[in-house]
């Protein structure tokens, strides 16, 4: 199983006890993590204890599960997902009866709904659109927000009235349960064999507290395998805390063996040397891949106007494809969606014969925790031998979530997920409009399952939020999104195309050619995190995605809401380098 791994990777995987693994870009972090999981799955097969993999994104969780399946291993004792999904499945839903706020039922306020409420309140309170209102909680149970506390209190009152909780309340109530009832943590510790945490450097303090409560609980022998890189900590403005070795040990009250992955199999040495301009730590990284000594292309343009930028990026894409670079080895990225989405749409228009993997261009992105998003993906991903396992898992998760709405489907517990899939697979619609197609499918599903929305207020409100949120994005002229069902289906298809995404969205991925634009002060870093270290870390993540070619743009012509011109990112303009 460990063939093909280097000595550092094997040592980390075979190490006994709690492990803190620091992994530089391109060092095979995900490969090491999945091999560790497979290694421990084999060891725990008799005990039936569960291995937990807490990832930063759903996409990362699915990638881990896919790789484990490629090992042809029994993954029934593996659970992978985000910290919010972990809290919902293992803490809140099983033990919600212990909290007055949740015992009578709840549903999740998705990103669209929470943004809508807060933006309306900002208008009422005379705040500006870009004024930041934190909804995070401290481990003490106190709300982090101080300046706009009255607005935040009213926001929470609105959620409570509709029996909704947002993402930060998922963490808050989970910690409240696990700290108020220590037996919960003890039960979980006895159930788990290993908890893996990916991208630990972007973990919030409250998330650390939830996981450490489990590890510090009485009984059980659960261990930790924590992986990350403090140089890639880019979620500081969202509460991410890049703890060092000593701080990790203090948090969990356990000894952690410190291991490193320092070899870079992704980038050539020239790219690695350029990235040192943004590296915060003094880790010496050596290129070990077959491309180690290849010549890199590194360009930086501060003169091109934003209106001419898309033509130049299209030219670079065509040039790279002409050189034989596969489309999926090219990435176009920017600091935020408001820059990415129009760029993606215009590139598709200029390059009709080029395929694009622009999953972020779907109107459904901001509704991922809405139950109707989870129903929609079962309709949007067509049945096939390759999709069967993932669709079956989605079906099982959906059945559990429906139970939180008071809806239990089918009597035979062993075949419920297959029965639900059979019902969904039998439903079709002739509507070509994406929203109308989904609404038709939803209606048919409700009829087949005999679910009455009128008598289930929470489920009905989730549907309204899901549809309204999607329509709002579709009708936003800045996004100019495709509205047909074929484009909706592409959201769940990882095509062999040019990736168009945000800097945060491509974290952990790699490409031959990276084209980054919008590298402007106020965007890198954003106004809410305006400091040198935050900017350097974001630039480090951007540049370290590239294997061989790096094109950087701080374009002119972009202005703030007050009409002031954006300037190039300071931390980039101060770099002394002989660009191509």
Give the annotated binding-site residues for ATP. Answer: 23-30
* Consecutive H or E run containing 379: helix 371-380
Contact partners, residue 414, CB within 8 Å, separation at least 6: none
SS3 33: helix
Cα–Cα distance for residue pair 98/84, rounded to 1 Å: 19
Rounded Cα distance between 121 and 119, Å, is: 5
Q: 216: which DSSP letter?
A: T
Q: Please give the angle made by the CA atoms of 488, 492 and 494, to the nearest 5 degrees.
A: 120
Tell me which residue of 13, 19, 18 sits closest to 33, measured CA to CA: 13
Report how far residue 178's alpha carbon sits from residue 217's, in angstroms, rounded to the nearest whole number.
10
What residue numbers does the annotated binding site cover? Answer: 23-30
Calculate the CA 119 to chain-centre distance: 23
Question: What are the CA-CA distances from residue 541 to residues 24, 340, 576 (Å)?
Answer: 10, 17, 19
Dist. CA 286–CA 569, nearest whole Å: 27
> Smallest Cα–Cα separation from 368: which of 471, 466, 434, 490?
466
Residue in this structure with the two tokens 């650390």, named with its chain if needed: 208
Residue 574, classified by CB atoms within 10 Å of its CB into exposed (0-12), middle (13-18) or buried (19+), is exposed
d(C-alpha 316, C-alpha 513), whole Å: 10
List the beta strands (DSSP E) in 326-483.
Answer: 330-334, 356-357
Which secondary structure element, helix H or strand E, spans residue 350, and what is its range? helix 337-350
Residue with tokens 């063996």: 257
């Amino acid at each position: 199983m460990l063939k093909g791994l280097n000595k550092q990777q094997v040592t980390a995987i075979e190490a006994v006890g709690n492990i803190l693994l620091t992994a530089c870009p391109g060092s095979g972090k995900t490969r090491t993590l999945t091999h560790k999981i497979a290694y421990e799955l084999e060891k725990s097969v008799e005990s039936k204890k569960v291995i937990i993999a807490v990832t930063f994104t759903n996409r990362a969780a699915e990638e881990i599960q896919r790789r484990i399946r490629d090992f042809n291993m029994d993954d029934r004792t593996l659970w992978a997902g985000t910290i919010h999904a972990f809290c919902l499945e293992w803490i809140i839903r099983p033990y919600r009866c212990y909290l007055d706020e949740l015992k009578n039922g709840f549903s999740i306020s998705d990103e669209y709904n929470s943004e809508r409420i807060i933006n309306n309140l900002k208008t009422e309170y005379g705040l500006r659109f870009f004024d930041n209102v934190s909804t995070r909680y401290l481990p003490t149970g106190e709300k982090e927000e101080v300046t706009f506390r009255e607005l935040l209190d009213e926001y929470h009152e609105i959620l409570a009235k509709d029996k909704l909780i947002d993402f930060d309340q998922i963490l808050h109530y989970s910690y409240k349960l696990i700290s108020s009832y220590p037996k919960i943590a003890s039960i979980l510790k006895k159930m788990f064999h290993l908890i893996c945490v990916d991208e630990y450097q972007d973990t919030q303090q409250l998330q650390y507290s939830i996981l450490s409560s489990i590890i510090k609980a009485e009984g059980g022998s659960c261990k930790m395998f924590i992986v990350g890189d403090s140089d890639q900590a880019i979620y500081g403005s969202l509460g991410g805390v890049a703890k060092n070795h000593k701080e990790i040990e203090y948090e969990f009250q356990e000894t952690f063996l410190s291991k490193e992955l320092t070899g870079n199999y992704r980038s050539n040495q020239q790219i690695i040397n350029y990235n040192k301009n943004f590296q915060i730590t003094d880790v010496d990284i050596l290129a070990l891949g077959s491309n180690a000594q290849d010549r890199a292309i590194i360009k930086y343009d501060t003169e091109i106007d934003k209106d001419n930028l898309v033509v130049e990026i299209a030219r670079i894409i065509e040039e790279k494809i002409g050189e034989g670079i596969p489309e999926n080895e090219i990435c176009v990225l920017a600091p935020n969606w408001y820059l990415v989405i129009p760029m993606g749409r215009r590139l598709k228009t200029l390059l009709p014969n080029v395929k694009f993997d622009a999953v972020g261009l779907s109107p459904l992105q901001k509704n991922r925790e809405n139950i109707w998003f989870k129903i929609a993906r079962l309709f949007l991903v067509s049945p096939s031998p390759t999709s069967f396992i993932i669709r079956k898992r989605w079906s099982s998760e959906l059945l559990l979530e429906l139970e939180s709405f008071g809806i239990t489907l089918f009597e035979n517990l062993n075949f419920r997920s297959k029965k639900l899939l059979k019902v969904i697979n039998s439903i079709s619609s002739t509507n070509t409009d994406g929203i109308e197609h989904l609404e038709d499918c939803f209606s048919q599903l409700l009829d087949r399952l005999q679910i009455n929305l009128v008598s289930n207020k929470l489920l009905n409100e989730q549907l309204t939020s899901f549809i309204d949120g999607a329509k709002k994005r579709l009708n936003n002229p800045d996004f100019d999104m495709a509205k047909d069902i074929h484009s909706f289906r592409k959201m769940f298809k990882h095509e062999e195309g040019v990736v168009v995404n945000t800097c945060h969205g491509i974290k952990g991925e790699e490409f031959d050619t990276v084209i980054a634009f919008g590298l402007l002060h106020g965007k890198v870093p954003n106004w809410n995190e305006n400091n040198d270290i935050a900017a350097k870390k974001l630039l480090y993540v951007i540049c370290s995605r590239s294997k061989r070619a790096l094109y950087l743009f701080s374009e002119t012509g972009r202005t703030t809401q007050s009409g002031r011109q954006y300037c190039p990112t300071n931390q980039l303009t101060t770099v002394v380098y002989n660009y191509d």
